[in-house]
A = this chain, B = another copy of it.
Amino acid sequence: MKQYLKHDPWKIIEEGFSPEYNRISESVFSLGNGRMGQRATFEEDYSGDTHQGSYVAGVYYPDKTRVGWWKNGYPEYFAKVLNAPSWIDIKITIDGEVLDLAKGKVASFRRELDMQSGLLTRTFTLTMNSGKQVSVEAKRFCSMADGEVGAIRYTITPLNFSGQIEIELPVDADVVNKDSNYDEKFWLEIYKAATAEHAMVIAETKKTAFQVCTGMTYSVLQNKTAVQVEGNAFTKEKYASVAFTLNVKAQEEVCIEKLAVVLSSENYKKENLAGACEKKLVNVKKEGFSKLFEAHKTNWLKRWEGADITIEGDIAAQQGIRFNIFQLMQTYTGEDERLNIGPKGFTGEKYGGSTYWDTEAYCLPFYLGTAEEKVARNLLVYRHKHLQRAIENAAKLGFTNGAALYPMVTMNGEECHNEWEITFEEIHRNGAIAYGIYDYIRYTGDESYLVQYGLEVLIAISRFWAQRVNWSADKHKYVMLGVTGPNEYENNVNNNWYTNLLAVWTLEYTQQALESVKRQDQKAFETLAKRISFNESEETSKWMDIRTNIYLPEDTIRGVFLQQDGFLDKELLTVSQLRKEDRPLNQKWSWDRILRSCFIKQADVLQGMYFFEERFTHDELKRNFDFYEPMTVHESSLSPCVHVILASVLGYKEKAYEMYLRTSRLDLDDYNNDTEDGCHITSMAGTWMSVVKGFGGMRVRDGKLHFNPFIPDQWKSYSFKLEFRGRVIQVNVSKGSTDIKVISGDPLEIIVGEEKALA
């Protein structure tokens, strides 16, 4: 845990230069706009420790997989988010000396991310080894108004000298992924060009043949006046730049605006990339940094209007929640159904694949609550687009008849993770994808989604469950053997309660969905049934048999559901009995010891009780929470939020707040010592849920919004907004009073606690 960042309601601030924290800051201060993203690396050269990272959404590389022992069904590759050609570099040489914060003496340094407007500002004063002093202010953003544009305004002032500054503005495609399995470079050069005005490189990924065209143009102001410089074009392998030299005077600032355009072959024909880029470069140059920024800022302000959460009385919590919302909005804007949410977003390479069950189980509610319907809907359509691949994936494992197993990690629908205990066994993810459909429709009321896409996905998943269980002659029940639940500190267990429950719930919901589609459009149903050879009577009666006879392990003495068969054979300890030096278990204990222990990585039985809360009594929830939470080490960033929500239901205010603290400033305070690899984007949605579903008690039941708010003792008040069925609802909670109003759209019946009200 590190707490070197300043508290501020709207800004993230780093004061003073801390090279040892530089990679952490590079993650935290990352910028993105849903189409591209950039870690907060420096524009000028930096010979210190840094992790360069530019990312273009949807562009990945299938790195040759690396496992010890191959097992049948392993994927051939592990898809990596690609470190893409860099557009941010501004190389500065002053009288032959390279400007580099690792060389010389840093007199002052400040990094500031204004989350309200999405602007990163870095200022510093450096005494170079030659004794020359310069001050720099670098501002940049990735435009939310135009996802293909990034802009930098780099202002440099010689403080104690006059002389010559050489400036080079490159586009550099000669980049590497730090996590490349075989130290391979993933980009090939297709085209490059440089003129006095601009530079451009088209690079293509090996194997996947994505092309990214990165271009830059620029303008220069000396002493706030535009000047025409003589740009020298330069190119080398995978690199194009424009360089020029300026004569500067002490105390007179030089300002360079470097404007970048990043186009992907996902959105342009390859042969049109160069032309489109050139055209766009002309346009952005005409606009200039200021106008581009205005459009960007306006866009951000509008987004905040519907999504902001305020917390009064706790500035660290206020900063934390806004940071989470900011990162989520940067990562996914919902405009493109081919994109999804990687666990690190645009802030790092780790967990190379893009999409996990995090999307459906954790992120969907955030986008449902803070953006128009189509944003969340596109997350569902993404899975529908991958349905055939999920069917192929199941077939590889021996399943037939159109059964679908969605991958654990994917870029294009193919599985690209390769631990058998995860890939082959952590199949509950398949249920989460069904649950996502249910959750979307519950919130939006948009049943038509079932007709268009949903039912087809649900049937394919149900077909998987129906084959994945087997009849136990011993138990006279259907059992599900060899799974890994959400608690990945167990592997290859039998009858994981959560997975079994999710499986029969899917069968039940698919039956409802099927009837809904028949009601809405009988003909569409028949067409689908024919296309996928759906034998309704036979398949649904098999489903009913499984639903009726599923085995759900429980301990009738304690009155708790059992995480899996044999759980009670473990030594049942609590986390409070662990020594400090044993934590975190995943760093301190051998894997077999973790597996044998009762300790739980993240909500498992409780994840099921969270998903299907209405099916359980308050007492059941209490007994299970009291049994499992004390064994839970929360070593997944996805764990605390579920516990905030359930603790809130149970009135465990302190536990709820304790869990909230763990999730809300996870990256800002580098809680797990891993922020340098990137931020935990998907768990940030859990933080949002902690406030809205946890403290706010928001639920949708029978199409109606419910709230059951409480306020942590540490706060004076808090407020959040929700987009809900064409309205924006504002919820203000303070000590002793709750105020809920529709601030845009038609009036709405809202239930607070047990009381109905019209807001």
Q: Which residues of A are interface residues toward B (Cβ below 8 A)?
A: 65-69, 71-73, 78, 396-398, 418-421, 424-425, 470-475, 479, 481-482, 491-495, 565-566, 568-572, 586-596
Q: Are A569 and B72 in contact (CB under 8 A)?
A: no
- Closest partner residue, chain B, to A477 (CB atom): B569
Give the residues in chain B near A67, CB-CB below 8 Å.
Answer: 66-68
Taking a contact as CB atoms closer than 8 A, the residue among B495, B566, B593 that contacts A398 in the complex is B593
What residues of B have a CB within 8 angstroms of the CB of A482 in the complex?
592, 595-596
Q: Is the pair B470, A571 in contact by a Cβ cutoff of 8 Å?
A: yes
Q: A65-B68, A482-B596, A492-B492 are in contact. Are A420 and B591 (CB under 8 A)?
A: yes
Known: A472-B569, A494-B566. 9 other contacts (CB 8 A): A73-B590, A397-B592, A398-B589, A421-B491, A424-B591, A470-B569, A475-B569, A481-B566, A481-B595
List 29 contacting pairs A-B, 8 Å CB cutoff, sorted by A: A66-B66, A66-B67, A67-B68, A68-B78, A71-B591, A72-B591, A72-B594, A73-B590, A396-B590, A397-B590, A397-B593, A398-B590, A420-B591, A421-B491, A424-B590, A424-B591, A425-B592, A470-B571, A470-B596, A471-B571, A474-B568, A481-B566, A481-B596, A492-B492, A492-B493, A492-B595, A565-B565, A565-B566, A565-B569
**Shortest distance from the beta carbon of A600 to any chain B beta carbon, whole Å:** 15
The distance from the CB of A6 to the nearest CB of chain B, in whole angstroms, is 36
B471 close to A592 (CB less than 8 A): no
Give Cα A473–Cα B495 distance, bound, in whole angstroms: 20
Q: Which of chain B's residues have a CB closer than 8 A to the CB of A592? A: 73, 397, 420, 424-425, 482
Chain B's closest residue to A67 (CB) is: B68
Name A73's closest neighbour in chain B (CB-CB): B590
Partner of A473, one of B398, B418, B479, B568: B568
Closest Cβ of chain B to A283, distance in Å, is 46
In the complex, A482→B68 CA distance in Å?
A: 21
Are A492 and B494 in contact, with the CB atoms below 8 A? no
In order of increasing CB-CB distance, the 6 nearest A-B pairs are: A424-B592, A73-B590, A474-B568, A71-B591, A397-B590, A67-B68
Instruction: Determine the main DSSP class of A at the interface with B.
Output: loop
Q: Which residue of B lies closest to A582 (CB)?
A: B398
Tell me, in angstroms, the Cα distance from A459 to B421 when the chains sit together: 34
The CA-CA distance from A420 to B593 in the complex, in Å, is 11
Q: Are B424 and A473 in contact (CB under 8 A)?
A: no
Which chain B residues border A475 with CB–CB below 8 Å?
A: 569
Q: Closest residue to A585 on the B side, CB-wise? A: B72
Contacts of A565 in B (CB 8 A): 565-566, 569
Give Cα A73 to B66, complex, Å.
Answer: 19
Contacting residues, chain B, for A595 (C-beta < 8 A): 481-482, 492
Q: Which residues of B contact A591 (CB under 8 A)?
A: 71-73, 420, 424
A119 to chain B, nearest CB (A): 38
Q: How far is the CB of A605 from chain B (nearest CB, A)?
A: 17
A496 to chain B, nearest CB (A): 13
Query: Looking at the complex, which one of B68, B494, B588, B593 makes contact with A569 (CB distance below 8 Å)?
Result: B494
A481 surroundings in chain B (CB, below 8 A)? 566, 569-570, 595-596
User: Are B419 and A68 interface neighbours, CB within 8 A?
Assistant: yes
Nearest chain B CB to A559 CB, angstrom units: 15
Please give me the residue from chain B that is nearest to A417 by CB atom. Answer: B68
On whether the beta carbons of B491 and A72 are closer than 8 Å, the reply is no
Minimum CB–CB distance for A565 against chain B, Å? 6
Q: Indicate the member of A473, A566, A586, A592 with the most B CB atoms within 10 Å.
A: A592
Q: Which of A68, A78, A418, A594 has the most CB of B within 10 A?
A: A68
List chain B residues, Cβ under 8 A from A425.
592
Chain B residues positioned under 8 Å from A420 (CB to CB): 591-592
**Judging by beta carbons under 8 Å apart, are B419 and A69 in contact?**
yes
Q: When the two chains form their complex, are residues B473 and A572 in contact, meaning their CB atoms are under 8 A apart?
A: yes
Closest B residue, CB atoms, query A470? B571
Q: Please, which residues of chain B bring their CB within 8 A of the CB of A473?
A: 568, 572
C-alpha spacing A68/B481, complex, angstroms: 24
**Cα-based distance from A492 to B586 in the complex (angstroms):** 18
Q: Are A418 and B72 in contact (CB under 8 A)?
A: no
- Give complex CA distance A194, B396 in Å: 57
Known: A424-B590, A479-B569, A494-B569. A68 touches B66 (CB 8 A): yes
Looking at the assembled complex, report how far the CB atom of A394 sits from the nearest CB atom of chain B, in whole angstroms. Answer: 10
Q: Of B72, B471, B474, B569, which is within 8 A of A474 by CB?
A: B569
- Complex CA gap A418/B493 in Å reads 21
Give Cα A298 to B588, complex, Å.
Answer: 58
Q: How far is the CB of A601 from chain B (nearest CB, A)?
A: 13
User: Which of A565, A566, A570, A594 has most chain B Cβ within 10 Å?
Assistant: A566
Q: Are B590 and A72 in contact (CB under 8 A)?
A: yes
Enumerate chain B residues within 8 angstroms of A66, measured Cβ to Cβ: 66-68
A478 to B66, CA, bound (A): 39
Bound complex: CA of A651 vs CA of B591, how far in Å?
45
Task: Give the nearest-CB partner of A394 in chain B.
Answer: B590
Which B residue's beta carbon lies closest to that of A425?
B592
Contact A587 B492 (CB under 8 A): no
Interfacial chain B residues near A588, Cβ < 8 Å: 72
Alpha-carbon distance A445/B201, docked complex (angstroms):
80
Q: In the bound complex, what is the Cα–Cα distance between A572 and B568 (angstroms)?
A: 26
Contact B566 A72 (CB under 8 A): no
User: Contact between B418 and A68 (Cβ–Cβ < 8 Å)?
Assistant: yes
A474 to B568, CA, bound (A): 6
B residues less than 8 Å from A589 (CB atoms): 72, 398
Instruction: Among A78, A479, A495, find the residue whose CB has the most chain B CB atoms closer than 10 A.
Output: A479
> Which residues from chain B contact A424 at a C-beta distance below 8 Å?
590-592
B397 with A570: CB separation less than 8 A: no
Residues of B within 8 A of A586 (CB): 72
Give the chain B neighbours of A590 by CB distance below 8 A.
Answer: 71-73, 396-398, 424
The answer to whether A72 touches B492, judged by C-beta atoms less than 8 angstroms apart, is: no
A36 to chain B, nearest CB (A): 29
Set of chain B residues within 8 Å of A571, measured between Cβ atoms: 470-471
Q: How far is the CA of A482 from the CA of B596 in the complex (A)?
A: 6
Distance (whole angstroms) from the CB of A483 to the closest CB of chain B: 9
A479 to B565, CA, bound (A): 14
Inside 8 A of A78's CB, which chain B residues have their CB? 68
- Chain B contacts for A68, CB-based, 8 A: 65-68, 78, 418-419
Q: How far is the CA of A396 from the CA of B565 in the complex (A)?
A: 28
A38 to B587, alpha carbons, bound, how many Å?
A: 44
Cα-based distance from A209 to B492 in the complex (angstroms):
41
A481 to B588, CA, bound (A): 20
Residue of B nearest to A74 (CB): B591
Residues in B neighbouring A587, C-beta threshold 8 A: 72
A549 shortest CB reach to chain B, Å: 13
Q: Are A470 and B419 in contact (CB under 8 A)?
A: no
Chain B, Cβ-Cβ closest to A396: B590
Distance (whole angstroms) from the CB of A351 to the closest CB of chain B? 11
Complex-state Cα separation, A590 to B418, whole angstroms: 13
- Give the complex CA separation of A85 and B421 in angstroms: 41
